[in-house]
Amino acid sequence: MAGKQKITGPAFFVGMEGNGIISFGSGQPDLPPPKEIFRNLENPRLFKYGLIQGDKRLREALAEEYPGAEAKNFVITNGASEALDLVMRALAQEPGSHNILLCQPYYYSYPLIAEFAGLSSIYTQLKEGLIDLDDFQKKIGKVKAVLINSPSNPTGRVEAMETLKAIEALTKKLGVWVISDEVYKDLIYGRENYLIKGRHVITINSFSKTYAMCGLRVGYLYSPDREFIQKVVDMKVHTSMNTNSMGQAMALSAMRAPRSYVKKQVAIWERRRDLIYGGLIKLGFDLWKPEGAFYVFPKIKNVERALGELYYKYKVIVYDGAWFGAPGRIRLSYALDEKKIEEGLRRIKKFLKGKEKWLI
Ligand SMILES: Cc1ncc(COP(=O)(O)O)c(C=O)c1O
């Protein structure tokens, strides 16, 4: 669009709000965090440096959630983002292949974090948004690590338990590390999940999504391998130091809040999922029905033009599927209230007038 700033990538939109904008952009829950976290605000201890590995009480609380785990198996990080970065940099120092297997479409940061760490990404193409075990098996022999993200950003799909168990066994047999990004593990609608386990598995999670605490930047990694944990801590001391102390105390309060908090959130996400999925289907879009997380990933032609027009003319933010390795799609986050979703759908309907062919 002439005279307008070019939309170059997600950084253009992250954190943008107000001015009548409807943002289906970043995956930022609009719901409030558990009220219990605000108790920490006036604690002066929380303005000091803390342990590089992370607050011990928070790690102890996390250890209770993982069978056989101890506090020493965790590192608390500045969001899952820092955990991904530390893990990939630590793995890059391990002997052997420098390849990492990513599922495509992928969360947009994965290829770049891998590249910054000195790893080369190779890709297995998802089939209907899910892992194709035949293709996966062909590629897994060539890599040091594989990254699994179920429920997935951007597809919203959840892998079958059998697939995850097969991956767990195959990678164990081949001596391939698994990075399991489980930031959406609590946000699944009516279906069982399976969390990959083992000494070769590094689990990554975050307080950003489950507890609506994105800006506090608290996540963690868990590994049964103590040597690996030490490697990560030895790097973290020279980069970000400890994770935000206030955020960690708030994360602990969030974990201790009544479990009904998470249950209520999931019910809300599910209603919103139905609203946006139904609305987009009615408008003629082709998309998968999300089983988890809070994203839809419909097909559309002329994505660059669509993004520009939706944003500059209709004040609607959507993300380009190409950023996730899937040109010809757009990603919409439904982490916003129902009235806004409805208004966003109305604007998309107006935008689509005369462009029905873009959906075929
Ligand atoms: C799959 C996935 N992993 C990691 C992250 C990063 O989360 P955090 O806010 O904890 O850094 C996100 C954020 O959207 C995500 O979708």
pLDDT of residue 321: 97
Looking at the structure, do residues 214 and 134 belong to the same domain, yes or no? yes
Domain at 18, CATH number: 3.90.1150.10
Q: pLDDT digit string (tens) for 307-328?
A: 999 999 999 999 999 999 999 9
pLDDT of residue 26: 84
Q: Could you tell me which of 246, 335, 245 has the C-alpha nearest to residue 53?
A: 245
80 lines ligand 1 (CB under 6 A): yes
Looking at the structure, do residues 122 and 201 belong to the same domain, yes or no? yes
CA-to-CA dists, residue 223 to 54, 67, 109, 320, angstroms: 14, 12, 22, 34
Looking at the structure, do residues 214 and 284 belong to the same domain, yes or no? no
In a domain, 242, yes or no: yes
Looking at the structure, do residues 205 and 334 belong to the same domain, yes or no? no
243 lines ligand 1 (CB under 6 A): no
Lookup: tokens for 321: 């599927």
Q: pLDDT digit string (tens) for 280-305?
A: 999 999 999 999 999 999 999 999 99
In a domain, 4, yes or no: no
What pTM value is reported for the model? Answer: 0.95
In a domain, 42, yes or no: no
Measure the CA–CA gap between 266 and 268, rounded to whole angstroms: 5
Q: pLDDT digit string (tens) for 255-287?
A: 999 999 999 999 999 999 999 999 999 999 999
Looking at the structure, do residues 100 and 213 belong to the same domain, yes or no? yes
Q: Residue 2: is its pLDDT beyond 70?
A: no
Centroid of ligand 1 to alpha carbon of 352 (angstroms): 31
What size, in residues, is the chain? 360
Domain at 177, CATH number: 3.40.640.10
183 lines ligand 1 (CB under 6 A): yes
Q: pLDDT digit string (tens) for 126-143?
A: 999 999 999 999 999 889
E-assigned strand segments in 105-194 = 120-125, 145-148, 177-181
**Based on the structure, what is the number of domains in the chain?**
2
Lowest mean pLDDT among 17-21, 181-185, 300-304, 340-344: 17-21
Smallest CA separation from ligand 1 atom 7, residue: 80
Structural domain range at position 123: 48-256
Mutational test site, ligand 1, from 75, 153, 183, max ligand atoms within 8 Å of CB? 183
In a domain, 41, yes or no: no
In a domain, 115, yes or no: yes
pLDDT of residue 360: 77
Summarize the confidence of residues 11-24 as an average pLDDT.
Answer: 88
298 lines ligand 1 (CB under 6 A): no
CB 357, CB 301: distance < 8 Å: yes
Looking at the structure, do residues 107 and 222 belong to the same domain, yes or no? yes
107 lines ligand 1 (CB under 6 A): yes
Looking at the structure, do residues 72 and 201 belong to the same domain, yes or no? yes
Centroid of ligand 1 to alpha carbon of 356 (angstroms): 33
Looking at the structure, do residues 244 and 272 belong to the same domain, yes or no? no
27 lines ligand 1 (CB under 6 A): yes
Per-chain mean pLDDT for the chain: 95
| Coil/strand/helix, residue 213 | coil
pLDDT-based confidence at 174, cuts 50/70/90?
very high
Mutational test site, ligand 1, from 113, 149, 206, max ligand atoms within 8 Å of CB? 206
Looking at the structure, do residues 231 and 278 belong to the same domain, yes or no? no
106 lines ligand 1 (CB under 6 A): no
Looking at the structure, do residues 225 and 295 belong to the same domain, yes or no? no
Centroid of ligand 1 to alpha carbon of 354 (angstroms): 36
Measure the CA–CA gap between 220 and 206, rounded to whole angstroms: 6
Q: Residue 1: is its pLDDT beyond 70?
A: no
Looking at the structure, do residues 57 and 104 belong to the same domain, yes or no? yes
In a domain, 5, yes or no: no
Looking at the structure, do residues 88 and 237 belong to the same domain, yes or no? yes
Centroid of ligand 1 to alpha carbon of 200 (angstroms): 22
pLDDT of residue 225: 96
pLDDT of residue 16: 82
pLDDT of residue 19: 87
Q: Indicate the residue among 256, 284, 316 that finishes a domain.
A: 256
In a domain, 134, yes or no: yes
The ligand 1 atom at the shortest distance from the C-alpha of residue 206 is: 10
pLDDT-based confidence at 3, cuts 50/70/90?
low
Strand order in the sheet with 330-333: 295-296, 330-333, 319-320
Lookup: tokens for 359: 């959906």
Q: pLDDT digit string (tens) for 213-239?
A: 999 999 999 999 999 999 999 999 999
Mutational test site, ligand 1, from 107, 147, 323, 333, max ligand atoms within 8 Å of CB? 107
Q: Indicate the residue among 210, 241, 256 that finishes a domain.
A: 256
Mutational test site, ligand 1, from 77, 81, 184, 205, max ligand atoms within 8 Å of CB? 81
Lookup: tokens for 338: 């129902």
pLDDT of residue 70: 98
In a domain, 43, yes or no: no
pLDDT of residue 345: 98
Q: Indicate the residue among 233, 256, 279 that finishes a domain.
A: 256
